[in-house]
Structure 1
Amino acid sequence: MVMALRGQRAVSVLHFLCFLWAVFALLQNLGVPKPVRKDHEHTYGGHWKHLTFLNQVLQTILYALCVVTDVVALCIPSKEKSVSSVVVPIRDFLFAAYVFPVGLFVAFAFWSLYAYDRELVYPRELDDINPTWLNHSMHTTILPLLFIELVICVHKYPTKKKGIFGLTVFTIMYLSWIFWVHYASGVWAYPVLGVLGVSGKTLFISIAYSILVAFYLLGDCLTKWLWARRRKKCTC
Protein backbone atom coordinates (compact mmCIF):
# COMPACT_ATOMS: atom_id res chain seq x y z
CA MET A 1 0.00 0.00 0.00
CA VAL A 2 2.83 2.37 0.94
CA MET A 3 4.74 1.54 -2.26
CA ALA A 4 1.60 2.10 -4.32
CA LEU A 5 1.07 5.48 -2.65
CA ARG A 6 4.68 6.48 -3.31
CA GLY A 7 4.31 5.48 -6.95
CA GLN A 8 1.12 7.50 -7.23
CA ARG A 9 2.86 10.52 -5.72
CA ALA A 10 5.78 10.15 -8.13
CA VAL A 11 3.39 10.02 -11.09
CA SER A 12 1.58 13.08 -9.73
CA VAL A 13 4.85 15.02 -9.49
CA LEU A 14 5.80 14.08 -13.05
CA HIS A 15 2.35 15.09 -14.31
CA PHE A 16 2.62 18.42 -12.52
CA LEU A 17 6.09 19.12 -13.94
CA CYS A 18 4.92 18.19 -17.46
CA PHE A 19 1.92 20.48 -17.00
CA LEU A 20 4.13 23.38 -15.91
CA TRP A 21 6.41 22.87 -18.92
CA ALA A 22 3.46 22.66 -21.31
CA VAL A 23 1.96 25.89 -19.93
CA PHE A 24 5.34 27.64 -20.04
CA ALA A 25 6.01 26.59 -23.65
CA LEU A 26 2.49 27.58 -24.69
CA LEU A 27 2.75 31.02 -23.09
CA GLN A 28 6.19 31.58 -24.60
CA ASN A 29 4.79 30.69 -28.01
CA LEU A 30 1.95 33.16 -27.52
CA GLY A 31 4.42 35.83 -26.43
CA VAL A 32 6.64 35.59 -29.50
CA PRO A 33 6.67 38.95 -31.29
CA LYS A 34 4.74 39.04 -34.54
CA PRO A 35 6.66 39.15 -37.82
CA VAL A 36 7.53 42.48 -39.31
CA ARG A 37 4.84 41.78 -41.92
CA LYS A 38 1.78 42.70 -39.85
CA ASP A 39 -0.70 43.09 -42.66
CA HIS A 40 -3.93 41.10 -42.66
CA GLU A 41 -2.64 38.51 -45.10
CA HIS A 42 0.11 37.26 -42.81
CA THR A 43 -1.62 37.57 -39.43
CA TYR A 44 -4.99 36.01 -40.29
CA GLY A 45 -5.68 33.08 -37.98
CA GLY A 46 -2.66 33.83 -35.81
CA HIS A 47 -1.08 30.89 -34.02
CA TRP A 48 -4.29 28.91 -34.34
CA LYS A 49 -3.67 28.01 -37.97
CA HIS A 50 -0.58 25.97 -37.10
CA LEU A 51 -0.84 22.36 -35.99
CA THR A 52 2.22 22.85 -33.80
CA PHE A 53 0.35 25.37 -31.65
CA LEU A 54 -2.83 23.28 -31.54
CA ASN A 55 -0.72 20.32 -30.42
CA GLN A 56 0.69 22.41 -27.57
CA VAL A 57 -2.85 23.32 -26.53
CA LEU A 58 -3.89 19.66 -26.60
CA GLN A 59 -0.90 18.60 -24.50
CA THR A 60 -1.60 21.35 -21.96
CA ILE A 61 -5.24 20.26 -21.62
CA LEU A 62 -4.17 16.63 -21.25
CA TYR A 63 -1.76 17.38 -18.41
CA ALA A 64 -4.31 19.63 -16.74
CA LEU A 65 -6.74 16.69 -16.67
CA CYS A 66 -3.98 14.40 -15.35
CA VAL A 67 -3.20 16.84 -12.54
CA VAL A 68 -6.88 17.09 -11.61
CA THR A 69 -7.27 13.31 -11.31
CA ASP A 70 -3.98 13.02 -9.38
CA VAL A 71 -4.88 15.75 -6.88
CA VAL A 72 -8.32 14.27 -6.25
CA ALA A 73 -6.88 10.76 -5.80
CA LEU A 74 -4.27 11.97 -3.29
CA CYS A 75 -6.14 14.70 -1.46
CA ILE A 76 -9.84 13.84 -1.73
CA PRO A 77 -9.97 10.03 -2.10
CA SER A 78 -13.69 9.99 -1.26
CA LYS A 79 -14.34 11.91 -4.50
CA GLU A 80 -11.89 9.94 -6.65
CA LYS A 81 -14.42 7.53 -8.11
CA SER A 82 -16.98 10.18 -9.09
CA VAL A 83 -14.36 12.54 -10.56
CA SER A 84 -12.47 9.78 -12.38
CA SER A 85 -15.66 8.45 -13.95
CA VAL A 86 -16.02 11.79 -15.75
CA VAL A 87 -12.44 12.99 -16.27
CA VAL A 88 -10.54 9.77 -17.03
CA PRO A 89 -12.54 8.77 -20.16
CA ILE A 90 -12.01 12.28 -21.56
CA ARG A 91 -8.32 12.19 -20.65
CA ASP A 92 -7.79 8.77 -22.21
CA PHE A 93 -9.62 9.60 -25.46
CA LEU A 94 -7.74 12.90 -25.73
CA PHE A 95 -4.40 11.12 -25.38
CA ALA A 96 -5.27 8.22 -27.67
CA ALA A 97 -7.02 10.00 -30.54
CA TYR A 98 -5.28 13.37 -30.54
CA VAL A 99 -2.28 14.02 -28.31
CA PHE A 100 -0.19 10.95 -29.14
CA PRO A 101 -0.74 10.71 -32.93
CA VAL A 102 -0.76 14.47 -33.53
CA GLY A 103 2.30 15.03 -31.32
CA LEU A 104 4.29 12.34 -33.14
CA PHE A 105 3.12 13.69 -36.48
CA VAL A 106 4.16 17.26 -35.65
CA ALA A 107 7.70 16.20 -34.75
CA PHE A 108 8.03 13.73 -37.65
CA ALA A 109 6.59 16.02 -40.33
CA PHE A 110 8.41 19.15 -39.17
CA TRP A 111 11.89 17.67 -38.96
CA SER A 112 11.44 15.62 -42.15
CA LEU A 113 10.45 18.70 -44.16
CA TYR A 114 13.07 20.79 -42.36
CA ALA A 115 15.81 18.35 -43.40
CA TYR A 116 14.57 18.33 -47.00
CA ASP A 117 14.03 22.09 -47.39
CA ARG A 118 13.42 24.21 -44.33
CA GLU A 119 11.86 26.99 -46.43
CA LEU A 120 8.86 24.71 -46.98
CA VAL A 121 8.01 24.60 -43.28
CA TYR A 122 10.19 27.00 -41.25
CA PRO A 123 11.63 29.87 -43.35
CA ARG A 124 14.97 31.31 -42.24
CA GLU A 125 13.35 34.64 -41.39
CA LEU A 126 11.71 32.93 -38.41
CA ASP A 127 15.16 32.49 -36.82
CA ASP A 128 15.04 36.21 -36.01
CA ILE A 129 11.64 35.81 -34.34
CA ASN A 130 11.69 32.43 -32.60
CA PRO A 131 14.65 31.56 -30.34
CA THR A 132 16.12 28.12 -31.03
CA TRP A 133 15.00 26.71 -27.68
CA LEU A 134 11.40 27.71 -28.43
CA ASN A 135 11.54 25.94 -31.78
CA HIS A 136 12.66 22.78 -29.97
CA SER A 137 9.96 23.18 -27.33
CA MET A 138 7.38 23.17 -30.13
CA HIS A 139 8.85 20.41 -32.28
CA THR A 140 11.27 18.30 -30.22
CA THR A 141 10.51 18.15 -26.49
CA ILE A 142 6.92 17.16 -27.26
CA LEU A 143 8.27 13.66 -27.99
CA PRO A 144 9.72 12.88 -24.54
CA LEU A 145 6.56 14.28 -22.97
CA LEU A 146 4.47 11.85 -25.02
CA PHE A 147 6.55 8.83 -24.08
CA ILE A 148 6.77 9.85 -20.42
CA GLU A 149 2.97 9.89 -20.34
CA LEU A 150 2.81 6.56 -22.17
CA VAL A 151 5.08 4.96 -19.56
CA ILE A 152 3.81 6.45 -16.29
CA CYS A 153 0.05 6.35 -16.90
CA VAL A 154 -2.13 3.68 -18.46
CA HIS A 155 -4.66 5.04 -20.94
CA LYS A 156 -7.63 2.98 -22.01
CA TYR A 157 -7.83 3.19 -25.79
CA PRO A 158 -11.25 3.34 -27.45
CA THR A 159 -12.14 0.84 -30.15
CA LYS A 160 -10.14 1.43 -33.32
CA LYS A 161 -13.34 2.50 -35.08
CA LYS A 162 -14.09 5.23 -32.52
CA GLY A 163 -10.49 6.34 -32.15
CA ILE A 164 -9.79 6.66 -35.87
CA PHE A 165 -13.17 8.31 -36.39
CA GLY A 166 -12.28 10.94 -33.77
CA LEU A 167 -8.89 11.51 -35.39
CA THR A 168 -10.53 11.77 -38.81
CA VAL A 169 -13.01 14.40 -37.60
CA PHE A 170 -10.12 16.42 -36.15
CA THR A 171 -8.21 16.12 -39.44
CA ILE A 172 -11.18 17.25 -41.54
CA MET A 173 -11.86 20.21 -39.25
CA TYR A 174 -8.22 21.28 -39.31
CA LEU A 175 -7.94 20.96 -43.10
CA SER A 176 -11.15 22.96 -43.51
CA TRP A 177 -9.69 25.63 -41.25
CA ILE A 178 -6.38 26.03 -43.11
CA PHE A 179 -8.14 26.04 -46.49
CA TRP A 180 -10.44 28.75 -45.16
CA VAL A 181 -7.43 30.75 -43.95
CA HIS A 182 -5.99 30.53 -47.46
CA TYR A 183 -9.31 31.52 -49.03
CA ALA A 184 -9.72 34.50 -46.67
CA SER A 185 -6.13 35.77 -46.69
CA GLY A 186 -4.39 34.19 -49.67
CA VAL A 187 -1.72 32.72 -47.39
CA TRP A 188 -1.04 29.06 -46.69
CA ALA A 189 -0.33 28.09 -43.09
CA TYR A 190 2.51 25.96 -44.48
CA PRO A 191 4.62 27.16 -47.43
CA VAL A 192 4.83 23.61 -48.78
CA LEU A 193 1.14 23.76 -49.75
CA GLY A 194 1.81 26.84 -51.85
CA VAL A 195 4.25 25.03 -54.15
CA LEU A 196 2.03 21.99 -54.75
CA GLY A 197 -0.66 21.69 -57.37
CA VAL A 198 -4.08 20.13 -56.76
CA SER A 199 -2.83 16.58 -57.30
CA GLY A 200 0.24 17.30 -55.19
CA LYS A 201 -1.88 18.66 -52.33
CA THR A 202 -4.17 15.64 -52.54
CA LEU A 203 -1.24 13.23 -52.38
CA PHE A 204 0.46 15.20 -49.59
CA ILE A 205 -2.70 15.31 -47.46
CA SER A 206 -3.44 11.62 -48.10
CA ILE A 207 0.06 10.62 -46.99
CA ALA A 208 -0.15 12.89 -43.95
CA TYR A 209 -3.49 11.37 -42.92
CA SER A 210 -2.13 7.83 -43.39
CA ILE A 211 0.81 8.67 -41.13
CA LEU A 212 -1.55 10.06 -38.48
CA VAL A 213 -3.58 6.84 -38.50
CA ALA A 214 -0.37 4.79 -38.34
CA PHE A 215 0.74 6.79 -35.28
CA TYR A 216 -2.64 6.19 -33.67
CA LEU A 217 -2.26 2.44 -34.19
CA LEU A 218 1.32 2.62 -32.88
CA GLY A 219 0.13 4.29 -29.67
CA ASP A 220 -2.55 1.63 -29.25
CA CYS A 221 -0.05 -1.20 -29.75
CA LEU A 222 2.61 0.32 -27.46
CA THR A 223 0.09 0.93 -24.69
CA LYS A 224 -1.28 -2.61 -24.80
CA TRP A 225 2.20 -4.15 -25.04
CA LEU A 226 3.73 -2.07 -22.25
CA TRP A 227 0.92 -2.36 -19.74
CA ALA A 228 0.25 -6.02 -20.49
CA ARG A 229 3.88 -6.77 -19.58
CA ARG A 230 3.60 -4.76 -16.37
CA ARG A 231 0.42 -6.54 -15.31
CA LYS A 232 2.09 -9.88 -16.04
CA LYS A 233 5.08 -8.97 -13.83
CA CYS A 234 2.77 -7.87 -11.03
CA THR A 235 1.05 -11.27 -11.02
CA CYS A 236 4.31 -13.23 -10.91
Structure 2
Amino acid sequence: MVLGLQGQRTASVLHFLCCLWAIFALSHNIGLPQSARREREHTYGGHWKHLTFLNQVLQTILFVLCVIIDVVALCSSSHEKMISSLLVPVRDYIFSTFVFPVGLFVAVVFWGLYAYDRELVYPRELDEVNSVWLNHSMHTTILPLLFIELLVCPHKYVRKTKGIIGLTVFTITYLCWIIWVNYASGIWAYPVLGVLDTPGKIVFFSIAYLIVLMFYFLGRLLTKQLWGK
Protein backbone atom coordinates (compact mmCIF):
# COMPACT_ATOMS: atom_id res chain seq x y z
CA MET A 1 0.00 0.00 0.00
CA VAL A 2 1.44 3.36 -1.05
CA LEU A 3 0.03 6.82 -0.39
CA GLY A 4 0.00 9.35 -3.24
CA LEU A 5 -0.51 13.08 -2.75
CA GLN A 6 -4.29 12.69 -2.57
CA GLY A 7 -3.86 9.87 -0.07
CA GLN A 8 -1.54 12.01 2.02
CA ARG A 9 -4.10 14.78 2.09
CA THR A 10 -6.81 12.34 3.12
CA ALA A 11 -4.57 10.95 5.85
CA SER A 12 -3.87 14.51 7.03
CA VAL A 13 -7.59 15.27 7.32
CA LEU A 14 -8.19 12.05 9.23
CA HIS A 15 -5.27 12.79 11.54
CA PHE A 16 -6.65 16.25 12.22
CA LEU A 17 -10.13 14.91 13.03
CA CYS A 18 -8.70 12.14 15.23
CA CYS A 19 -6.54 14.71 17.03
CA LEU A 20 -9.54 16.97 17.70
CA TRP A 21 -11.55 14.04 19.06
CA ALA A 22 -8.67 12.79 21.23
CA ILE A 23 -8.18 16.25 22.78
CA PHE A 24 -11.93 16.68 23.26
CA ALA A 25 -12.36 13.28 24.94
CA LEU A 26 -9.29 13.74 27.14
CA SER A 27 -10.36 17.22 28.28
CA HIS A 28 -13.83 15.96 29.22
CA ASN A 29 -12.33 13.03 31.13
CA ILE A 30 -10.17 15.47 33.11
CA GLY A 31 -13.18 17.69 33.77
CA LEU A 32 -15.40 14.97 35.23
CA PRO A 33 -17.42 16.03 38.29
CA GLN A 34 -16.58 14.24 41.51
CA SER A 35 -19.10 12.14 43.34
CA ALA A 36 -18.28 10.97 46.85
CA ARG A 37 -16.61 7.88 45.41
CA ARG A 38 -14.62 9.79 42.83
CA GLU A 39 -13.54 12.31 45.44
CA ARG A 40 -12.01 9.46 47.44
CA GLU A 41 -10.37 8.11 44.28
CA HIS A 42 -8.82 11.49 43.58
CA THR A 43 -7.08 11.64 46.96
CA TYR A 44 -4.03 9.84 45.56
CA GLY A 45 -2.84 9.46 41.98
CA GLY A 46 -5.89 11.10 40.43
CA HIS A 47 -6.58 10.11 36.84
CA TRP A 48 -2.99 8.96 36.41
CA LYS A 49 -3.59 5.62 38.13
CA HIS A 50 -6.05 4.54 35.43
CA LEU A 51 -4.72 2.90 32.27
CA THR A 52 -7.70 4.30 30.38
CA PHE A 53 -6.51 7.85 31.08
CA LEU A 54 -2.88 7.05 30.27
CA ASN A 55 -4.01 5.54 26.99
CA GLN A 56 -5.96 8.69 26.15
CA VAL A 57 -2.86 10.78 26.86
CA LEU A 58 -0.74 8.53 24.61
CA GLN A 59 -3.30 8.69 21.79
CA THR A 60 -3.48 12.47 22.06
CA ILE A 61 0.32 12.79 21.91
CA LEU A 62 0.38 10.47 18.90
CA PHE A 63 -2.17 12.44 16.89
CA VAL A 64 -0.60 15.78 17.78
CA LEU A 65 2.67 14.44 16.35
CA CYS A 66 0.83 13.16 13.27
CA VAL A 67 -0.75 16.56 12.63
CA ILE A 68 2.59 18.37 13.01
CA ILE A 69 4.27 15.97 10.58
CA ASP A 70 1.41 16.28 8.08
CA VAL A 71 1.30 20.08 8.20
CA VAL A 72 5.04 20.35 7.62
CA ALA A 73 4.92 17.82 4.77
CA LEU A 74 2.08 19.63 2.99
CA CYS A 75 3.01 23.24 3.69
CA SER A 76 6.77 23.42 4.11
CA SER A 77 8.64 20.96 1.91
CA SER A 78 11.96 22.62 2.76
CA HIS A 79 11.59 21.56 6.39
CA GLU A 80 9.93 18.20 5.76
CA LYS A 81 13.12 16.12 5.81
CA MET A 82 14.37 17.63 9.07
CA ILE A 83 11.02 17.35 10.87
CA SER A 84 10.42 13.84 9.56
CA SER A 85 13.83 12.63 10.70
CA LEU A 86 13.09 13.94 14.20
CA LEU A 87 9.40 13.18 14.70
CA VAL A 88 8.54 10.19 12.49
CA PRO A 89 10.66 7.69 14.49
CA VAL A 90 9.07 9.00 17.71
CA ARG A 91 5.58 8.75 16.20
CA ASP A 92 6.21 5.22 14.94
CA TYR A 93 7.65 4.03 18.26
CA ILE A 94 4.79 5.49 20.30
CA PHE A 95 2.17 3.94 18.05
CA SER A 96 3.74 0.52 17.62
CA THR A 97 5.04 -0.05 21.15
CA PHE A 98 2.44 1.71 23.28
CA VAL A 99 -0.66 3.13 21.58
CA PHE A 100 -1.75 0.11 19.54
CA PRO A 101 -1.21 -2.70 22.11
CA VAL A 102 -2.30 -0.65 25.13
CA GLY A 103 -5.33 0.86 23.37
CA LEU A 104 -6.48 -2.54 22.14
CA PHE A 105 -5.93 -3.98 25.62
CA VAL A 106 -8.00 -1.23 27.27
CA ALA A 107 -10.95 -1.73 24.93
CA VAL A 108 -10.95 -5.55 24.90
CA VAL A 109 -10.29 -6.14 28.61
CA PHE A 110 -12.65 -3.39 29.80
CA TRP A 111 -15.62 -4.61 27.78
CA GLY A 112 -14.75 -8.25 28.51
CA LEU A 113 -14.85 -7.64 32.27
CA TYR A 114 -17.87 -5.36 31.86
CA ALA A 115 -19.79 -8.17 30.12
CA TYR A 116 -18.79 -10.67 32.81
CA ASP A 117 -19.48 -8.44 35.83
CA ARG A 118 -19.43 -4.69 35.41
CA GLU A 119 -18.91 -4.15 39.15
CA LEU A 120 -15.37 -5.50 38.72
CA VAL A 121 -14.36 -2.63 36.45
CA TYR A 122 -17.11 0.01 36.17
CA PRO A 123 -19.57 0.02 39.10
CA ARG A 124 -23.12 1.17 38.43
CA GLU A 125 -22.68 4.21 40.67
CA LEU A 126 -20.36 5.67 38.01
CA ASP A 127 -23.37 5.97 35.70
CA GLU A 128 -24.41 8.92 37.86
CA VAL A 129 -21.09 10.64 37.12
CA ASN A 130 -20.11 9.55 33.62
CA SER A 131 -22.46 10.00 30.70
CA VAL A 132 -22.79 7.06 28.31
CA TRP A 133 -20.97 8.89 25.52
CA LEU A 134 -18.05 9.71 27.83
CA ASN A 135 -17.70 6.08 28.85
CA HIS A 136 -17.58 5.12 25.17
CA SER A 137 -15.07 7.87 24.43
CA MET A 138 -12.74 6.32 27.01
CA HIS A 139 -13.28 2.65 26.19
CA THR A 140 -14.84 2.29 22.72
CA THR A 141 -13.92 5.05 20.27
CA ILE A 142 -10.24 4.51 21.09
CA LEU A 143 -10.53 1.33 18.99
CA PRO A 144 -11.50 2.87 15.62
CA LEU A 145 -8.84 5.55 16.15
CA LEU A 146 -6.24 2.77 16.34
CA PHE A 147 -7.34 1.15 13.10
CA ILE A 148 -7.71 4.46 11.26
CA GLU A 149 -4.07 5.19 12.10
CA LEU A 150 -3.07 1.65 11.14
CA LEU A 151 -4.75 2.00 7.73
CA VAL A 152 -3.76 5.53 6.71
CA CYS A 153 -0.16 5.70 7.93
CA PRO A 154 2.76 3.28 7.55
CA HIS A 155 4.67 2.77 10.78
CA LYS A 156 8.18 1.40 10.99
CA TYR A 157 8.61 -1.06 13.84
CA VAL A 158 11.86 -1.23 15.74
CA ARG A 159 13.49 -4.61 16.27
CA LYS A 160 11.32 -7.01 18.25
CA THR A 161 13.71 -7.00 21.19
CA LYS A 162 13.56 -3.21 21.56
CA GLY A 163 9.79 -3.16 21.13
CA ILE A 164 9.22 -5.89 23.71
CA ILE A 165 11.62 -4.24 26.18
CA GLY A 166 9.86 -0.89 25.77
CA LEU A 167 6.42 -2.40 26.29
CA THR A 168 7.63 -4.52 29.22
CA VAL A 169 9.17 -1.51 30.96
CA PHE A 170 5.91 0.42 30.49
CA THR A 171 3.85 -2.49 31.84
CA ILE A 172 6.05 -3.13 34.88
CA THR A 173 6.23 0.59 35.66
CA TYR A 174 2.45 0.87 35.55
CA LEU A 175 1.95 -2.22 37.74
CA CYS A 176 4.45 -0.87 40.29
CA TRP A 177 2.60 2.45 40.22
CA ILE A 178 -0.86 1.04 40.98
CA ILE A 179 0.60 -1.23 43.68
CA TRP A 180 2.25 1.81 45.25
CA VAL A 181 -1.03 3.74 45.07
CA ASN A 182 -2.71 0.93 46.99
CA TYR A 183 0.12 0.77 49.52
CA ALA A 184 0.07 4.55 50.09
CA SER A 185 -3.69 5.11 50.11
CA GLY A 186 -5.50 1.77 50.29
CA ILE A 187 -7.12 2.47 46.91
CA TRP A 188 -7.08 -0.04 44.07
CA ALA A 189 -7.34 1.57 40.65
CA TYR A 190 -9.78 -1.18 39.61
CA PRO A 191 -12.41 -2.91 41.77
CA VAL A 192 -11.42 -6.33 40.37
CA LEU A 193 -8.08 -6.08 42.21
CA GLY A 194 -9.90 -5.58 45.49
CA VAL A 195 -11.61 -8.97 45.29
CA LEU A 196 -8.51 -10.99 44.33
CA ASP A 197 -6.08 -12.48 46.82
CA THR A 198 -2.31 -12.21 46.23
CA PRO A 199 -2.00 -15.34 44.02
CA GLY A 200 -5.05 -14.16 42.09
CA LYS A 201 -3.46 -10.76 41.50
CA ILE A 202 -0.26 -12.40 40.26
CA VAL A 203 -2.23 -14.53 37.81
CA PHE A 204 -4.29 -11.52 36.72
CA PHE A 205 -1.19 -9.36 36.13
CA SER A 206 0.57 -12.18 34.26
CA ILE A 207 -2.39 -12.78 31.96
CA ALA A 208 -2.75 -9.03 31.37
CA TYR A 209 0.91 -8.80 30.34
CA LEU A 210 0.60 -11.75 27.96
CA ILE A 211 -2.50 -10.17 26.37
CA VAL A 212 -0.85 -6.79 25.80
CA LEU A 213 2.23 -8.56 24.41
CA MET A 214 0.02 -10.55 22.05
CA PHE A 215 -1.55 -7.30 20.85
CA TYR A 216 1.92 -5.91 20.16
CA PHE A 217 2.67 -8.82 17.85
CA LEU A 218 -0.77 -8.44 16.27
CA GLY A 219 0.10 -4.83 15.43
CA ARG A 220 3.37 -5.95 13.81
CA LEU A 221 1.54 -8.58 11.77
CA LEU A 222 -1.22 -6.24 10.59
CA THR A 223 1.29 -3.53 9.66
CA LYS A 224 3.33 -6.01 7.64
CA GLN A 225 0.20 -7.28 5.86
CA LEU A 226 -0.95 -3.76 4.99
CA TRP A 227 2.33 -2.02 4.19
CA GLY A 228 4.91 -4.74 3.58
CA LYS A 229 8.44 -3.98 4.66
Taking structure 2 as the reference length, the TM-score comes to: 0.96
The Cα shift of 1:50 comes to 0.3
The Cα shift of 1:39 comes to 5.6
Residues 116-142 of structure 1: CA distance to partner in whole angstroms, max 9, x if unpaired? 110000000000000000000100111
| Whole-angstrom distance in 2 between the partners of 1:165 and 1:48 | 22
The Cα shift of 1:69 comes to 0.4
What SS does the aligned partner of 1:189 have?
Answer: coil
Moved more, 122-131 or 34-43: 34-43
The Cα shift of 1:101 comes to 0.1
What SS does the aligned partner of 2:199 have?
Answer: helix
Aligned to 1:234: none
| Whole-angstrom distance in 2 between the partners of 1:38 and 1:220 | 38
The Cα shift of 1:34 comes to 1.3
The Cα shift of 1:4 comes to 2.4
Give the alignment of 1:112-131 within 5 angstroms.
112-131=112-131
Residues 39, 22 of structure 1: CA spacing in aligned structure 2 closer, same or farther, 3 A cutoff? closer
- Structure 1 stretches of at least 4 aligned residues deviating more than 2 Å after TM superposition: 37-43
Aligned to 1:78: 78
Give the alignment of 1:164-183 within 5 angstroms.
164-183=164-183
What SS does the aligned partner of 1:154 have?
Answer: coil
Aligned to 1:47: 47
Q: Does the Cα contact within 8 Å between 1:12 and 1:67 map onto a contact in 2?
A: yes
Residues 78, 122 of structure 1: CA spacing in aligned structure 2 closer, same or farther, 3 A cutoff? same
- Letter of the structure 2 residue corresponding to residue 212 of structure 1: V
| Whole-angstrom distance in 2 between the partners of 1:37 and 1:130 | 12
What SS does the aligned partner of 1:7 have?
Answer: helix
Q: Percent identity?
A: 70
- Letter of the structure 2 residue corresponding to residue 146 of structure 1: L
| Whole-angstrom distance in 2 between the partners of 1:107 and 1:216 | 14
Residues 158, 119 of structure 1: CA spacing in aligned structure 2 closer, same or farther, 3 A cutoff? same
Residues 7, 53 of structure 1: CA spacing in aligned structure 2 closer, same or farther, 3 A cutoff? same
Q: Does the Cα contact within 8 Å between 1:164 and 1:213 map onto a contact in 2?
A: yes
| Whole-angstrom distance in 1 between the partners of 2:72 and 2:138 | 30
Aligned to 2:143: 143
Q: Does the Cα contact within 8 Å between 1:72 and 1:80 map onto a contact in 2?
A: yes
Structure 2 unaligned regions, length at least 5: none
| Whole-angstrom distance in 1 between the partners of 2:60 and 2:38 | 28
| Whole-angstrom distance in 2 between the partners of 1:30 and 1:184 | 23
Q: Does the Cα contact within 8 Å between 1:41 and 1:187 map onto a contact in 2?
A: yes
What SS does the aligned partner of 2:4 have?
Answer: helix
Report how many aligned residue pairs link the two structures: 227
Residues 159, 208 of structure 1: CA spacing in aligned structure 2 closer, same or farther, 3 A cutoff? same
| Whole-angstrom distance in 2 between the partners of 1:46 and 1:188 | 12
- Letter of the structure 2 residue corresponding to residue 127 of structure 1: D
Taking only aligned residues, the RMSD between alpha carbons, in angstroms, comes to 1.3
Residues 45-91 of structure 1: CA distance to partner in whole angstroms, max 9, x if unpaired? 11111000000000000000000100000111111111110100000
1:90 paired with 2:96, answer no
Residues 124-179 of structure 1: CA distance to partner in whole angstroms, max 9, x if unpaired? 00000000000001001111000000000000011111001000000011011101
